Amino acid sequence: MTPRWCLLPWRLLGGSRLDREIRVGLCGCGVIGEGLVTALLQHADVITERVGAPVRLAAVADKDPARLDIVRAQDERIALVDDAFELAQRDDVDVVVELIGGVEVADRLVRAALGAKKHVVTANKALLAERGAALFALAEANGCDLYFEAAVAGAIPVIRVVRESLASDHILSVRGIINGTSNYILSSMANEGAAFADALKAAQEAGFAEADPTLDITGGDSGHKLAILAGLAFGARVLPGEIPTEGIEQVDPRDIQYARNFGYVIRPLAIAERLEGGALDLRVHPALVPEGDPLAHVDGALNAVAIQGEMVGPSFLSGLGAGAGPTATSVAGDIIDIAKNSLAGAPVRTWNFPSKNDQEIQEIADLSSRYYLRFSVRDDSGVLAALSGKLGDSGISIEQMVQHVDAGDEGTASIAMLTHHAREGDVRDSLHAVDATDLTTAPTHLIRIVE
């Protein structure tokens, strides 16, 4: 055990905790930044009570003077600067909050703050997924904390739960809905029967999708978050580029309807699972989830994470994945943790980010899964038999199959099918062969089933 006498100095100095304060510097005062300003100012009472000392917003940096004006109007004692790098060096700041986003500038800013011996809180998933290992090494070398709860799944405390609550367990799998935009779009397609493009447009108008939604709908954002989550859960560094990733753009309203007929809901999932041989099964894609699964009930902009541990069994967390209030609450929780560490005289209390990138990741072709398939076929007798025959020849075993006549498309039909477990490479090869015949009138659509 650490000798306890090292606690004595500041206690002997005679100061109660309330003589001290933790001073926060915020870089980037957009939607989440503004939420954090509100949280720190309006909830100062409860924060002081829970920390045992005041947490004071000392400085805010933003390039946009209008944003600084909004802060000034709330508390004129806050120092306002236009340069985040200047803020990161200020003597009156103990904790730097990085909310500027992006990778390159944020990376330099976090390095500057750590170099100046400031603790750092960031919500930047791309930065951590790409550069996390180096930043954590720098934080430790400088005796500083680096916290990032808000980087994954907004308000859901999944980082804390994986690192602390489940720290003794062998984690078997992590499955999450960790992109609210994708879930909002698929939910509104399901509820209103809208096509993808229309649902996306409505999501943008409702403020649930960015003007450029690429990173969300292609699965890139989920990939960043999964890289962080898998790293913590399995103790291995994973880079986003190593994760097989598919977006939700190919999901058709018919898929949602046919899946529902089979008793499934389509959700945008991120999955990390330890396989028996030790490799990781990592993937981001839309998936059919059974109606009874807790993830099937996670609707709209909600996020959720289901964790399976060897001893703990099933654990499920849900909450809002984005937005000013939820994300700012996660950032503020990190600030409070750092404040408690600092008051107790013990920064760098948390274990570090995994740095070894030596983890074997399963090729997606080697995945064993059940699949939902949608074939576009000529509405002829004999097509069904020919199709089943071809699949059977390749060893693909059909569990359920329904033929739907396509409304509006004279002479064509859709065949929706659920397969038994099969190797994905074999299924793809088989579909390739089928699509090369004249049985199908368009490329066959495949969605994985996760149960």
320-349 residues in contact with a copy of itself (CB under 8 A) are: 320, 323, 325-326, 328-330, 332-333, 335-337, 340-349
- Please tell me whether residue 92 binds a copy of itself under the rule CB under 8 A: no
Binding to a copy of itself by CB under 8 A, coded x per residue (else -) over 161-180, reads x-xxxxxxxx----------
Query: Which residues have CB under 8 Å from 384's CB, separation 6+?
Result: 377, 401, 403, 415
Query: Which residues have CB under 8 Å from 298's CB, separation 6+?
Result: 177, 183, 267, 304, 318
Query: Which residues have CB under 8 Å from 15's CB, separation 6+?
Result: none
Q: Which residues are catalytic?
A: 225
- Please tell me whether residue 355 binds a copy of itself under the rule CB under 8 A: no
- Please tell me whether residue 410 binds a copy of itself under the rule CB under 8 A: no
- Nearer to a copy of itself by C-beta: 153 or 217? 153
187, 188, 350, 376: which one binds a copy of itself (CB under 8 A):
350
- Nearer to a copy of itself by C-beta: 107 or 334? 334
- Nearer to a copy of itself by C-beta: 216 or 334? 334
- Please tell me whether residue 38 binds a copy of itself under the rule CB under 8 A: yes
Q: How far is the CB of 329 from a copy of itself (least distance, A)?
A: 4
Query: Which residues have CB under 8 Å from 369's CB, separation 6+?
Result: 421, 422, 424, 448, 449, 450
- Nearer to a copy of itself by C-beta: 159 or 427? 159
Q: Which residue has the tokens 């894609």?
A: 285
Phi/psi for 63 (5° steps) reads -75, -20
- Please tell me whether residue 75 binds a copy of itself under the rule CB under 8 A: no
Binding to a copy of itself by CB under 8 A, coded x per residue (else -) over 10-29, reads x---------x-xx------
- Nearer to a copy of itself by C-beta: 108 or 349? 349
- Please tell me whether residue 411 binds a copy of itself under the rule CB under 8 A: no
Q: Are 222 and 268 in contact (CB under 8 A)?
A: yes
Q: Which stretch binds a copy of itself (CB under 8 A): 50-58, 269-277, 279-287, 360-368?
A: 50-58
Q: How far is the CB of 165 from a copy of itself (least distance, A)?
A: 4
Q: Which residue has the tokens 């994973």?
A: 238
Site for a copy of itself in 113-132 (CB under 8 A): 117
- Please tell me whether residue 318 binds a copy of itself under the rule CB under 8 A: yes
Q: Give dist(CA 79, CA 90) in Å, integer.
A: 10
Q: Which residues pair with 449 in a beta bridge?
A: 288, 370
Q: Give dist(CA 196, CA 148) in Å, integer.
A: 32
Tokens of 445: 């659509």
- Please tell me whether residue 280 binds a copy of itself under the rule CB under 8 A: no
Site for a copy of itself in 236-275 (CB under 8 A): none
Q: How far is the CB of 235 from a copy of itself (least distance, A)?
A: 6
- Please tell me whether residue 46 binds a copy of itself under the rule CB under 8 A: yes
Q: Are 153 and 178 in contact (CB under 8 A)?
A: yes
DSSP of 65-109: HHHHHHHHHH-TTSEEES-HHHHTT-TT-SEEEE---SSHHHHHH
